A and B are shown apart, each in its own frame.
Chain A
Amino acid sequence: MMLEGRHIGVRYGAHVAVEDVSMTAQPGEVLALLGANGSGKSSLLRALAQVQAYSGTITWDGAAAPTGSVGYMPQDNAARVALTAFEVVLLGRMRSLALRVGSRDLQAAQSAMEEIGVADLAPRRIGELSGGQRQMVLMAQVLAAGPRVLLLDEPTSALDIAHQLHVLDLLRTATRQRGLTTIAVLHDLNAAARFADRVALMHRGRLVGIGAPDAILRSTLLQPAFDVHVAVDHGSDGHPVVLPLRAVRP
């Protein structure tokens, strides 16, 4: 789905978290949202997911999207629930779940778990899992709904590097093959450089740049956004590689 956001603003009381952000995202593309802590990435994502009141307009293919096609994954908060991993994934099928669970929902939950590679965790209680395992289960929940849009808040923050690569690879493949519109908040600039088609950089609630990783991941933009001196090089595969050097202010 084609996303078009115009003049999006989010405020919590007097605090302005997101201010006048206009952006677009295309089907089949991964857009990474980057920025320092508190720069408004998560708030913007929550507004896009319609779980947060906002000002401005957000349209999907020209219309306010039916929430059914949007898969939103907030940061992990499901640590202490007495549900099995399978039940958590099954909840992704909320729109069609009835008292008696249909086989289509069961199959969808199962294949989503397989796709992510967590089918073996199915009977375990979600609270017993490690943070990384839980994150992959929650990702399976989002995929189980068969969404056309993925809005992911730090989907790989708890994963080891192997699983990070696996999940990000999978996201990019799924995005291309199924024509999804994927927007992910990422903290790892180099992962963003490798896996995102475009990156959006936020600073103090405003969008300071959006475009190809090459165009945005530059020291002139990164230094003020993160308050850190960086060196930017290019890896053997041509993607930018960002090397943090030292904080601007100690």
Chain B
Amino acid sequence: MSAEAGTAIAAWRRANARRTILVGVTGILLVASFAVDVATGPAMLSIQAVLRSLLGIGGDPMLDAIVRTLRLPIALMAVVVGAALGISGAVMQTILNNPLASSYTLGISAGAGFGAALAITIGAALPVPEAWAIPLAAFAFAAIACALVGSVGRMRGATPELLVLAGIACLFLFQALLSLLQFLASPEALQQIVFWLFGSLLRASMGKVGIVALVLCIAVPPLLADAWRLTALKLGDDRAKALGVRVDRLRLRAFVIVSLLTGAAVAFVGTIGFIGLVAPHIARMLVGEDQRHLLPASAVFGALLLSAASVVSKLIMPGTVFPIGIITALIGVPFFGWLILSTGRVR
């Protein structure tokens, strides 16, 4: 082994160490943002008080109630949903070979939106309490949207072009159905539908956080197991096939996993935009395309962005919580513009 060859491996190891540190630093920022998120609200708390309460050494029942019952579920929800959307976006962008893809592109979120609206409209007639009926219906229709797009992919070969076309058809279908429901809905239901579509973390509870976290725990290992194969997809289908990757199967498998992940996340908080688009892009610029680093980095950046947006949503109009979907979109739009202007570089 020559000295020069030694440096190729050593340089790669150094790059990997740097990437791990970057993800670690972002993780620390995330913890900080999480703590600030819990501390922020109508009653501003000190970080020390928050930490004491979280560790169970506060001894102030009033404070404990605010922290653990009211704020902790919301702050945790921001983290798990942000992570889920970040990972889904990264995988969608990879399998569709498209930098503008996210969980929105293939109609998954539109399906969830329609499901939620349906549950809201028929509300009282449902056998389950509304707090669970809406997320269940949202998830069910996200799954239906996924099944529609996936079955087209199964029948005709899961090329990125075909999946995008099927997904956009699915998106329009569910948007039309949603508009129809809005047209038919009572004014009260309509208001509730619109508010759901804004996206909000206020519906969080520890049980719901647990479910999203569980789905995240189920979804991530198979994606990481496919990390190298997903990376190879970026070199083009022919090259990936020649390397032994069954590209159609890989695409469908990854697509189903991230659709369910998105469905679970969106079901509880409504359609929160742009996290799934922005987080993977930032992650990619910092750690590159190696999915072993890109997936964790996208998760951490997604969680950080949504957690920070949650803080902003409480500060923007003191006393009220601004719908977080609006905040993420307002942050996202300038980024989207920059992305369009510089697609050649970031792809």
Measured CB to CB, the residues of A under 8 A from B are 46, 49-51, 67-68, 70-74, 77-78, 80-84, 86-88, 91-92, 94-95, 97-99, 106-107, 109-111, 113-114, 119-120, 122-123, 125, 138, 145
- 10 smallest A-B Cβ distances: which pairs? A72-B242, A122-B8, A82-B289, A94-B243, A51-B241, A77-B236, A74-B238, A123-B11, A97-B228, A110-B5
CA distance A106 to B9 in the complex (A): 7
Is B239 touching A83 in the complex (CB atoms < 8 A)? no
CA distance A14 to B218 in the complex (A): 45
Is B236 touching A74 in the complex (CB atoms < 8 A)? yes
Is A88 touching B244 in the complex (CB atoms < 8 A)? no
> Is B245 an interface residue when CB atoms closer than 8 A count as contact?
yes
> Is B71 an interface residue when CB atoms closer than 8 A count as contact?
no
Q: Which residues of B contact A77 (CB under 8 A)?
A: 235-236, 238-239
- A83 contacts which of B241, B285, B288 (Cβ < 8 Å)? B288
> Is B68 an interface residue when CB atoms closer than 8 A count as contact?
no
CA distance A206 to B238 in the complex (A): 23
Is A83 touching B289 in the complex (CB atoms < 8 A)? yes
| Chain A residue at smallest Cβ distance from B227 | A99
CA distance A82 to B347 in the complex (A): 8
> Is B232 an interface residue when CB atoms closer than 8 A count as contact?
yes
Q: Which residues of B contact A122 (CB under 8 A)?
A: 7-8, 11-12
Q: Which chain B residues (185-225) contact chain A, with CB distance < 8 Å?
A: 224-225
**DSSP class of B's interface residues: helix, strand, loop or mixed?**
helix
Is A83 touching B234 in the complex (CB atoms < 8 A)? yes
Q: Which residues of A contact B8 (CB under 8 A)?
A: 86, 109-110, 113, 119, 122-123
- How far apart are A70's CB and chain B's nearest CB, in angstroms? 7
CA distance A120 to B244 in the complex (A): 28
> Is B251 an interface residue when CB atoms closer than 8 A count as contact?
no
Known: A83-B288, A111-B5. A91 touches B243 (CB 8 A): yes
Q: Which residues of A contact B228 (CB under 8 A)?
A: 91, 94, 97-98
Is B2 touching A114 in the complex (CB atoms < 8 A)? yes
- How far apart are B295's CB and chain A's nearest CB, in angstroms? 11
- B243 contacts which of A80, A92, A113 (Cβ < 8 Å)? A92
Is B5 touching A49 in the complex (CB atoms < 8 A)? no
Q: Which residues of A contact B2 (CB under 8 A)?
A: 114, 119
Q: Which chain B residues (251-296) contact chain A, with CB distance < 8 Å?
A: 284-285, 288-290, 292
- How far apart are A131's CB and chain B's nearest CB, in angstroms? 15
CA distance A98 to B231 in the complex (A): 12
> Is B15 an interface residue when CB atoms closer than 8 A count as contact?
yes
Q: Which residues of B contact A81 (CB under 8 A)?
A: 234-235, 289
Q: Which residues of A contact B241 (CB under 8 A)?
A: 49-51
Known: A80-B347, A84-B12, A99-B292. A107 touches B234 (CB 8 A): no
| Chain A residue at smallest Cβ distance from B289 | A82
Is A74 touching B12 in the complex (CB atoms < 8 A)? no
Is B231 touching A87 in the complex (CB atoms < 8 A)? yes
CA distance A50 to B237 in the complex (A): 12
Q: Which residues of B contact A91 (CB under 8 A)?
A: 228, 231-232, 235, 243
Q: Which residues of A contact B4 (CB under 8 A)?
A: 114, 119-120
- B244 contacts which of A46, A67, A111 (Cβ < 8 Å)? A67
| Chain B residue at smallest Cβ distance from A151 | B242
Q: Which residues of B contact A86 (CB under 8 A)?
A: 8-9, 11-12
What are 30 contact pairs spanning A and B, CB under 8 A? A49-B238, A51-B237, A51-B241, A51-B242, A71-B242, A77-B235, A77-B239, A78-B234, A81-B289, A83-B234, A83-B289, A86-B11, A86-B12, A87-B289, A87-B290, A88-B235, A91-B231, A91-B232, A94-B232, A97-B228, A98-B228, A99-B227, A106-B9, A114-B4, A114-B5, A119-B2, A119-B4, A122-B7, A125-B288, A138-B239
As a 0/1 sequence over residues 1 to 44 of chain B, the CB contacts with chain A under 8 angstroms (1 = contact) are: 11011111101100100000000000000000000000000000
Is A94 touching B229 in the complex (CB atoms < 8 A)? yes
Q: Which residues of B contact A92 (CB under 8 A)?
A: 243
CA distance A45 to B40 in the complex (A): 63
Known: A51-B238, A99-B224. A83 touches B290 (CB 8 A): yes
Is A67 touching B232 in the complex (CB atoms < 8 A)? no
Q: Which residues of A contact B225 (CB under 8 A)?
A: 99
Residue in B7, B241, B292 with the greatest tally of chain A CB atoms within 10 Å: B241
Known: A77-B235, A91-B231. A84 touches B15 (CB 8 A): yes
Is B242 touching A70 in the complex (CB atoms < 8 A)? yes
Q: Which residues of A contact B229 (CB under 8 A)?
A: 94
| Chain B residue at smallest Cβ distance from A145 | B243
- A78 contacts which of B11, B15, B239, B292 (Cβ < 8 Å)? B239
- B239 contacts which of A74, A80, A125 (Cβ < 8 Å)? A74
CA distance A113 to B12 in the complex (A): 14
CA distance A106 to B16 in the complex (A): 13
Q: Which residues of B contact A110 (CB under 8 A)?
A: 1, 5-6, 8-9
CA distance A119 to B2 in the complex (A): 10
CA distance A125 to B347 in the complex (A): 13
CA distance A138 to B229 in the complex (A): 17
CA distance A94 to B241 in the complex (A): 11
Q: Which residues of A contact B12 (CB under 8 A)?
A: 84, 86-87, 106, 122-123
CA distance A146 to B320 in the complex (A): 63
- How far apart are B343's CB and chain A's nearest CB, in angstroms? 10
